[in-house]
Structure 1
Amino acid sequence: MSTDTVTVTLIGGPTLLIEVAGIRILTDPTFDPPGEYPSGPSVLVKTTGPALTPEQVGAVDVVLLSHDQHPDNLDAAGRAFLATVPLVVTTTAAAERLGGSAVGVEPWRRTETSLPDGRTLTIGAVPAQHGPDGFAASSGPVIGFVLSGEGIPTTYVSGDNAAVRVVEEVVDNQGPIEVAVLFGGGARTRRLDAYLTLRADQAVRAARLLDARAIVLVHAEGWRHFSQGQADFADAFAAAGRSELVVLAPGERRVL
């Protein structure tokens, strides 16, 4: 049974500060200013900067990096930030490229880190599907995460995932989930007529599977290739009669 609270602060896009059990965890660091950012044959347009600078965020104990190959999940300033972090958990491919404190974990494997009070935080890697079926070879490997430990609310961080089926697999293998961080936005690029992250209707379906007490939306503002924004997700959850969605303004902090 969990006894700790989870505090979340939205930095912007996929970047969320999670504070639990005395440690500070950051997802997919993106701190670059608005502008155009090449991503393979595409150019992604960032429309707003981060709500907090790396200096304002301060020291972080762990980064959960779903992947390193796209600038809307890890940008230049985010890469520089990684050098200040004692533990970066990511895909094995990203860990090989990044070096330093990066630890690569395959889906359904896990790593651990010590908490200030002597307990252990388990960080489990789970699958993520960054696009339609068969797109993995083009998008590159992506993972999500499940945080767990004695007294710690089991927390799912989806990473860039576009498949509700993957969420079902996570629930079946790692549930019950108490808090979930879903990457939304219904991301699309010109080169592919498909969604690369969850749409609002898919997030509602995922919420039914997760049955979590809180679902924190990230990756739904700040970039032009996000086809749906925070309001679309809020409307979809309201229409479905669901109240667990947490929509944060950039810079907003919430205790869950």
Structure 2
Amino acid sequence: MTHTGLSRQECAVTVLGGPTAVIDLAGLRIVSDPTFDEPGPQGYLTKTAGPACDENALGPVDLVLVSHDLHPDNLDGRGRTLAEAAPLVLTGPQSAARIGAPARGLVPWARHSVPRRDGDGDLTVMAVPAVHGPEDGERDANGDINCEVTGFVLSGDGIPTVYVSGDNASIRTVAEVSRRVPDIQVALLHAGAARVATKFEGRPLSMDSRRTAAAAAVLGVGIVIPAHYDGWTHFSEGRDELEVAFHEAGLSSVLRASAHGSWVHLRP
């Protein structure tokens, strides 16, 4: 892990490890699903690798996106501290109630405007649904499978529209997002085929590699940045499986599985 500052970019994404990504867009520094704890056991999950840089390297953070707060592979202790210190956290309503200020809960398809730092109005953040397990999984009292999970679509004038899937395992949900937001150009997709033996007969809680490639095809995006595929023992598929799946689907040209901490630029 390095303490070197992560330089600001005009329009780019870097995955730091696990689900954690930094999105520099519209002059804003956005962090999704912050996890910065050291490797080791975290309840029934085990972290095997830390992020490419720690939170001190990020500088001021303008916005934190939290897909869900109940699982430490998406929000851990140090990630929570970073989120609580940010000016704004966007997440689902149940997660927002647990996180507290400065979290704001958004139901699916709700929008929140964030003033841009590049002087071009607002960045629009739309919450979108996610299904954290198989379609036929048992639903809780709120209608969620496993727990409430929220994805996001970031958009604004003159910038690419970016979809952040969160821990979604459902191609049907990806198709619904694509129908409602047909102009998505970049997808940050949580992959890894996360499996927990005691949940849903060990079936994937996030997209496996083939479904990640299928999601890319459904969305029709030019850039796919995978996250959530390494650093934890319950992630059952990694970069190699992703590269094979995209190759077999004829979509290798859109996959950007770069080394953690390296930037993927979203403009040609």
Report the TM-score range of the alignment, normalised by the length of the smaller protein: over 0.9
| Gap runs ≥5 in structure 1 | none
Report SS of the residue matched to 1:165: helix
User: After TM superposition, which residue ranges in structure 1, 4 or more long, deviate above 6 angstroms?
Assistant: none
Alpha-carbon offset, residue 136 of structure 1: 4.2
Helix, strand or coil at the partner of 1:237: helix
C-alpha distance in 1 between matches for 2:242 and 2:120: 39
Aligned to 1:9, which of 5, 14, 18? 14
1:249 deviation in Å? 1.5
For the residues of structure 1 that align with 2:161 and 2:216, how far apart are their CA atoms? 15
Bigger strand share = 1
**SS of 1:83 mapped into structure 2:** helix
Query: 2 CA distance for matches of 1:215 and 1:135?
Result: 30
Which ranges of structure 2 fall in alignment gaps of 5 or more residues?
1-8
Cα drift, residue 254 of structure 1: 2.1
1:203-250: per-residue Cα shift (whole Å, max 9, x none)? 111111111110100001101100100111011101221110110222
Deviation at 1:91, TM superposition (A): 0.6
Deviations 1:18-65 (A, max 9, x none): 001111111100000110111xxxx11101011111101221111110
Partner of 1:32: 37
1:250 equivalent among 233, 245, 260: 260
Select the structure with the greater relative contact order (CA < 8 A; seq sep ≥ 6): 1
Counterpart CA distance in 2 for 1:21 and 1:58 is 16
Given that 1:5 and 1:153 are in contact with CA atoms closer than 8 Å, whether structure 2 keeps it comes out as: no
- Verify the 8 A CA contact 1:168 1:209 in the aligned structure 2: yes
Following superposition of structure 1 onto structure 2, how do residues 55-204 of structure 1 map, counting pairs within 5 Å? 55-116=56-117, 117-133=119-135, 134-137=137-140, 139-192=146-199, 193=201, 194-204=203-213
User: Alignment length, in residue pairs?
Assistant: 249
Kept in 1: contact 2:63–2:90 (CA 8 A): yes
Distance 1:93 1:83 in 2: 16
Please say which of residues 4-13 and 142-151 is displaced more in the overlay: 4-13
- CA drift at 1:6: 2.8
Shift of 1:118: 4.1
Q: TM-score, normalised by structure 2?
A: 0.90
In 1, Cα distance between the equivalents of 2:124 and 2:139?
A: 26
Residue 255 of structure 1: how far off its partner (Å):
1.2
Q: What is the one-letter code of the residue matched to 2:228?
A: H
